[in-house]
Structure 1
Amino acid sequence: MKLPSLSDAVLVSDGGLATELEARGHDLSDDLWSARLLADAPDEIVAVHTAFFRAGAAVATSATYQASFEGFAARGIERPAAQALMRRGVELAREARDAVGDGWVAASIGPYGASLANGEEYVGRYGLTVAQLRDWHRPRMEVIADAGPDLLAVETLPDVDEAAAVVDLLRDVGLPAWVSFTIAGDTTRAGQPLAEAFAVVADVPEVIAVGVNCCAPGDVLPAVRRAREVTGKPVVVYPNSGEVWDGPRRVWTGSSSWQPGLVPQWVAAGARIVGGCCRVRPSDITRIADDVG
């Protein structure tokens, strides 16, 4: 299904897939996180995608964020089976989309730090070169892209080096993609200026939107403005609830900082794909869809 032009349309994306799976009683405390259920409970993933579509989302993000060959190997899943599970993530999102009759499938391409399962995606600067990061991302991205999503969701990137690595691969894969950084205030998680991060993807035709995700809601509006200023591209935003992830303990701490009126401000500033990340549930997506109008 061809994506609509993002110059005028505003698409609502989904919320926290893992959050909703946990709410349905699944323990996601192992290193594969929600990707474990690609093997163990695929029907539950379809059910959550469907719930977000019915709540008002137009985009489903696949359960491949934390899927990695290393993570599957640690569970005794060999490479051919791991490839099949990665493709299944896209297929399950498409199954839910087809059941509701409309929408798009964004294949999640999570950062290298997610595969470490210790919160490193909120730190960045892993000690790897751009070439090493490119070599790590390439086989997984090629498998997931080959499954036929409508676009790639390259998400939760913590620093400029990883963005540079992924951009090279996007040119090879040839699918449309959004690229989003996780930020703290006005910098990447690695402490780099957002202007520097956004500039990496500004001239890449395959990148149809750039923005931020899994950050505090209060950090979004300045980031939208900076993304538009640097790239001129449509902006994608899907913050978490405002709670904070404690990587070593694998728990969320704090409380929600969502406030009424935030979404219209983001849209007015240039956001064209709007949703939620961790701790954002279908009822929250319904409110976002109502705000988008």
Structure 2
Amino acid sequence: MSENSVVILDGGMGRELQRRGAPFRQPEWSALALTEAPQHVQAVHAAYIESGANVITTNSYAVVPFHIGEALFATQGQALAAVAGTLARKAADAAQGTVQVAGSLPPLFGSYRPDLFEAARVGEILQPLVNGLAEHVDLWLAETQSSIAEAQAIRAGLPQDGKPFWLSFTLQDEDTDEVPRLRSGEPVAEAAQAAAALGVATLLFNCSQPEVIGAAIDAAKATFERLGVDIKIGAYANAFPPQPKDAKANDGLDELRDDLDPPGYLHWASNWRQRGASHLGGCCGIGPEHIAVLAGQLK
């Protein structure tokens, strides 16, 4: 792709699975479909590709003990990750053009919960995911990361396989001050500097309100310019109302904001593009219809 081209990412998985009639319940969330309705997972991937996505993300976000339980993860975690990788790869290979598969590496101990991070346990949760996904993915995506420490731990646990490393942080939705911050409270500028030290190819912001992402893009761009590094910036926001500090990502299907229909979401994505973001997609509540509008207007 050219220097100025936009990379279109996919959107959320969970709500799309439910819309298609896939079994869907807490706490397993989207992982349930990997065993009970894999055809629906592949169909969602295909729908995003049809809408214009250049990159699709494996449905491995909920393949962690936090969602499927310690016992099931211990016996089937790697196998479930492999299924997620296989389904995404099949959808990408069936596409007319080139579609990349991003291997989703989720928060290992619970979304929005940097306080639950256990450095000593990173390997036992991360390695089954990596082992299951490795042969199917084109790049690694550590997404919805709430703290610098967990992002650093995930990067350290990845193989030296030459695949690009993308990192996506989730932001505080509350406008507590003018400094954009991760959910850990760490400033985005510090997170961007840490990302540069980790050798990320693309830094993104996801699973947050559209309103807080622009300032985060600005902070990341300024940091990268100061450091003299060429790192792409991207974003994929939620379509839900602001989530309180004690909220958990994937804790039920929230009502969607009326103003974040496809044209409304395009308004925000266009703003992020103007600020310098080159990788644009959607997170929770953003579906193929949103991605189609982004692809049609921003590519």
- Stretches of structure 2 that go unaligned for 5 or more consecutive residues are 174-179
- Stretches of structure 1 that go unaligned for 5 or more consecutive residues are 115-120
Identity %: 28
Query: Which of 147, 160, 165 in structure 1 is aligned with 2:153?
Result: 165
The AA in structure 2 aligned to 1:179 is: L
Q: CA deviation at 1:275?
A: 0.2
In the alignment, what sits opposite 2:196?
Answer: 202
In the alignment, what sits opposite 2:94?
Answer: 99
Does structure 1 residue 239 correspond to structure 2 residue 237? yes
The AA in structure 2 aligned to 1:111 is: P
Query: Which of 36, 41, 44 in structure 2 is aligned with 1:45?
Result: 41
In the alignment, what sits opposite 2:80?
Answer: 85
Structure 1 pair 157/76, CA: closer, same or farther in 2 (3 Å)? closer
Query: Which of 274, 279, 287 in structure 2 is aligned with 1:268?
Result: 274
The AA in structure 2 aligned to 1:99 is: A
Q: CA deviation at 1:25?
A: 2.2
Give the Cα separation in 2 of the matches to 1:77 and 1:181: 24
Secondary structure, aligned partner of 2:191: helix
The AA in structure 2 aligned to 1:155 is: E
In the alignment, what sits opposite 1:216?
Answer: 209
> Conserved in 2, the CA contact under 8 Å of 1:145 and 1:175?
no
Secondary structure, aligned partner of 1:147: helix
Give the Cα separation in 2 of the matches to 1:270 and 1:132: 37
In the alignment, what sits opposite 2:183?
Answer: 189
The AA in structure 2 aligned to 1:61 is: T
Deviations along 1:175-219, whole A, 9 cap, x unmatched?
Answer: 2121000001511112111111222111333x2100200110111
Deviations along 1:16-48, whole A, 9 cap, x unmatched?
Answer: 111100111234222221112111111110011
Q: CA deviation at 1:70?
A: 7.0
Q: CA deviation at 1:159?
A: 1.2
Normalised by the length of structure 1, the TM-score is 0.86
Give the Cα separation in 2 of the matches to 1:267 and 1:158: 23
Structure 1 pair 77/209, CA: closer, same or farther in 2 (3 Å)? closer
Task: Count residues with an aligned counterpart.
Answer: 279
Q: CA deviation at 1:169?
A: 2.3
Give the Cα separation in 1 of the matches to 2:208 and 2:58: 19
Deviations along 1:83-114, whole A, 9 cap, x unmatched?
Answer: 22211111101111122233111111100233
Secondary structure, aligned partner of 1:187: coil
Give the Cα separation in 1 of the matches to 2:126 and 2:161: 9
